[in-house]
Amino acid sequence: MELLNERLNLEILELVCKGEGISFNISQLSDKLRKHRSTIKKRIDSLLEYKIINEPICPFTFIYQEYPLFVVVYSDFPNYKDVEEWLRTDEQVLAAYNIREEEYNTMIMEFHKSLTHYQQWREDLVANGKIPPRENRRASTSLFFSNDLIIKYEPETAAKVLEHLFERTKKVEINNYQLDKLDLDILKCLLDGDGIKINENYLSKKLDSHRKTIENRLKKLISSKIIEGPKCQFPQFFLPSNLLLVFSLIDLKEIGSKVFELLKQDYHIPIIFKVSIGKYNCLLLSVHESIDNFLEWNIKYREEHPNIFGIEKISYLSPRMTNFVDFKKLALGVVKRKLQEVKIEEEQKTVE
């Protein structure tokens, strides 16, 4: 994409994708929620302090075009600490979880350009001593998904799980912080991008460029779907840190049926893939209060639609099983690499 071959665009992306030049619009939230500005500010400060949300950024949605291959790897590492630094710093790795599934103890989520890129990357990891050679561990199992086949992508929808939990129990606690209705209203606004603004003047001074130029470039980057407008995200990307992530491969008998439409509308499900893995044709990433709540939800679907749901492979990923989730690392890795390529090209033209 041409926009990503221009140095100024990449410099803007490097800043807004890590949150520079982005701030809260307290007055806007105050007017919308009809609460005093100081009240809104204190609540936002608490949401950040207790790590219920991250600071606002412009999400780099182009990542799914840059890396059309999503890979989930079930691995067995003799000692997780030996690979922890690699996992946390590698710009292909989105997340890592501790699991106890068959012979595996780690689930890794990765993004890659292609199968060839993935294979070379794996070989380099062994050659560089990042992971133990195969003879010193059990062989991994890798599942491959196309980001072109994402048919639902609503990372903010998990907030509705919190809302329904509050409606039912009048209590939501995350990281020892009790959220009330106002907290949840603010949370929903921030996840949707309400009450967040970009300071073009700051970016203009930082990049030594005219404010109007910055404003126009940002509009193009957003309209071209390279980034989204500024918003907050959960620390675990689309998952509040008090809820359970369920990774479900399903044999769905009728893709395109009314039931499939129900799944796409279900607020428990932020992401759905079409897949072709053995007998499975659908991957659901769903969010629930607990395993019991998931089972109740799952059984209800099966009872109401007995001829639609076939076999299912399920992995439960609880907050305690989460080593890290870092979407920003992937995004900034792409932007910095492209920026370096542009700088090298400019230097070569200067020499010529």
pLDDT for residue 82 is more than 90: no
- The token duo for 196 is 């967040």
Half-sphere exposure of 208 (CA within 13 A, CB side): 1
Helices (H) and strands (E) in the chain, counts: 13, 14
Q: What is the mean pLDDT of residues 296-319?
A: 92
Tens of pLDDT, residues 102-115: 889 999 999 999 99
Candidates 15, 85, 68, 111; CA nearest to 332 is: 15
Fold adopted by 1-156+173-241+320-352: Alpha-Beta Plaits (3.30.70)
112 Cβ contact list (under 8 Å, min separation 6)? 67, 69, 71, 92, 118, 121
Whether the CB-CB separation of 221 and 14 falls below 8 Å is answered with no
Q: How far apart are CA 78 and CA 160, in angstroms?
A: 39
- The token duo for 191 is 């996840």
Whether the CB-CB separation of 255 and 271 falls below 8 Å is answered with no
Q: How far apart are CA 12 and CA 204, in angstroms?
A: 9
**Per CATH, the architecture of 243-317 is what?**
2-Layer Sandwich (3.30)
The separation between the first and the last C-alpha atoms of the chain, rounded to the nearest angstrom, is 25
- Whether this model's pTM surpasses 0.85: yes
Tens of pLDDT, residues 132-168: 777 767 888 999 999 999 999 999 998 999 999 999 9
Q: What is the mean pLDDT of residues 289-317?
A: 93
Strands 280-288 and 244-252: antiparallel
Half-sphere exposure of 311 (CA within 13 A, CB side): 5
E strand or H helix at 215, and its extent? helix 211-223
29-33, 131-135, 231-235, 274-278: the lowest-pLDDT one: 131-135
Q: What angle do CA 270, 327, 186 make, to 5 degrees?
A: 60
Q: Which residue, chain included where needed, has tokens 């995350």? A: 174
Candidates 38, 67, 248, 228; CA nearest to 147 is: 67
Residue spans in the chain of domains classed CATH 3.30.70.920: 1-156+173-241+320-352, 243-317
